[in-house]
Amino acid sequence: MILFVLKCTADHRFEAWFRNGDAYETQAAAKAIACPVCGDTHITKAPMAPRIAKGGRGKDDAAREGGAPEAAPTAAGGAAAPAAPPAPATPSVPAELRERFAAEVMRQLREVRHTVETNCDYVGDRFAEEARRIHYGETDPRGIYGEATDKEAEELKEEGVTFGRIPWLPRTNS
């Protein structure tokens, strides 16, 4: 497992674990990674030194087996880090605190989903069309939610239509 610091086009930074670098590349190319703040799916790696989960193999185990200990590459793909100022050091956060924080974020995102579903009209894949109609005064203003492609979202943004992207959690955590 490898942990990357990622960023969206709005420069929101967040961490995500992946099985390996190829798993990140595949998900990023498929736009399957979304910023937890704004929902942007144009995600790139932020400059960092990735952390790799050791999976129980320590330095002594590797030496006994005649191999080198596992080491974290200095940049994505194991290449030398780009000439950029180092990221500020962050203190190690205890696992229990990270888990409580993650649980609270999930609780709040579920609450957002419930509030949106309760107070807004679901328009499905007609979201861009309905948002334009509201924006241009062709229909009464109301809260709506639905799906829009990245292209549709970009076009709405260029037209000055106000909308937000929300990370949409599944109803259950199973």
**What 3-state class would DSSP assign to 108?**
helix
pLDDT, residue 78, reads: 37
pLDDT, residue 77, reads: 38
Full pLDDT tens readout for the chain, 174 residues: 788 889 989 888 888 888 888 888 999 899 999 988 888 899 998 876 545 555 554 444 444 444 433 333 333 333 333 444 444 455 567 778 888 888 888 888 888 888 999 999 999 999 999 999 999 999 999 999 999 999 999 999 999 999 988 888 777 654
pLDDT, residue 161, reads: 93
Question: Residue 114: what are its φ and ψ, rounded to 5°?
Answer: -60, -45
pLDDT, residue 64, reads: 40
pLDDT, residue 154, reads: 93
CA distance 172 to 165: 20
Distances (CA, A) of 167 to 36, 68, 73, 105, 111: 6, 41, 30, 11, 12
CA distance 48 to 51: 9
pLDDT, residue 59, reads: 45
CA distance 130 to 103: 34
